[in-house]
Amino acid sequence: MKLKALLAGLLCLVAGMCYAQSGRVEEKEQNVNGVNRRGQQLTVQLDTELVEKLWKTQLTNKAGKLKVKYNKGVYTMDGVVLDTITNNPMRIISTVNTTPEGSQVWWSLDMGVAYVDKSATPKEYAAAEGYLLAFARKAYREDIFRQINQAEEVLKATKLEQDRVVKQANDIQASIEKNNQRKLQLEAELVKNAEDLKTLQQNVQNNLKQQEASKQQVLEMEKAVESARAKLNNVK
């Protein structure tokens, strides 16, 4: 199972590398709190939770001391300067959503005198588009790093499992060898036991013969004593 997980992780990694250039930006109008606002929408084939986490971090870092407000899925920042787009402080309104096409980051940039618009402010629009595409590349890289880390963790776990299986095999082989040695010892003990039994049985037979011989000696001695007594009685 762990090997399958590793392969799945590697496949996801390859897939991530394949679609890492598929970020798409388009001009999009969106209704925010009852107001239609024109802005830009970035679509990426990434997990929305990851995209929103990275986007929130990016907005917070760019805001500096300014506070990023969040209410009902809408991020709002006032007085923010993104010098790669314009040196004018901007009001940024942004959302992150999930659609069948993928995760979508939308924002509207209010420069005070005008909104960033493809027709009215083409220079700023192109810079803002580049900003979103740079974020998309960053998000894809982050996702690939995450997949690499996951694959490495699975690989590490798989190697540990392999080591465990190899150790188990070595332990089993050692047990088999120990069992064989014990078997040989038992067989040798059985042979010795049979020999000892044979010797004991022989000793029993010898003892019986010795008992019979001793019994005969006792009888002969008793006869000799009786004979001596008889002779003593005949002496007057």
Low-confidence ranges of the chain (pLDDT < 50): 2, 18-20
CB 95 within 8 A of CB 80: no
Residue 13 β-bridge partners: none
Q: Residues with Cβ < 8 Å from 56, sequence gap 6 or more?
A: 68, 70, 75
225 conformational bin, left if phi > 0, alpha if psi -120 to 50, beta if neither? alpha
Q: Which fold has domain 23-142?
A: Alpha-D-Glucose-1,6-Bisphosphate; Chain A, domain 4 (3.30.530)
Could you tell me the two tokens for 180? 């064989």
Q: Render pLDDT for 36-79 as a digit per residue (tens, 0 to 9).
A: 999 999 999 999 999 999 999 998 888 776 788 999 899 999 99
pLDDT of residue 96: 96
Specify the 3-state DSSP secondary structure of 30.
Answer: strand
Q: Which pLDDT value is given to residue 171?
A: 92
By three-state DSSP, how is residue 91 classified? strand
User: Tens of pLDDT along 211-224?
Assistant: 888 888 888 888 88
At 105 the pLDDT is 97
99: closest CA among 57, 142, 41? 41
- The pLDDT assigned to 227 comes to 82
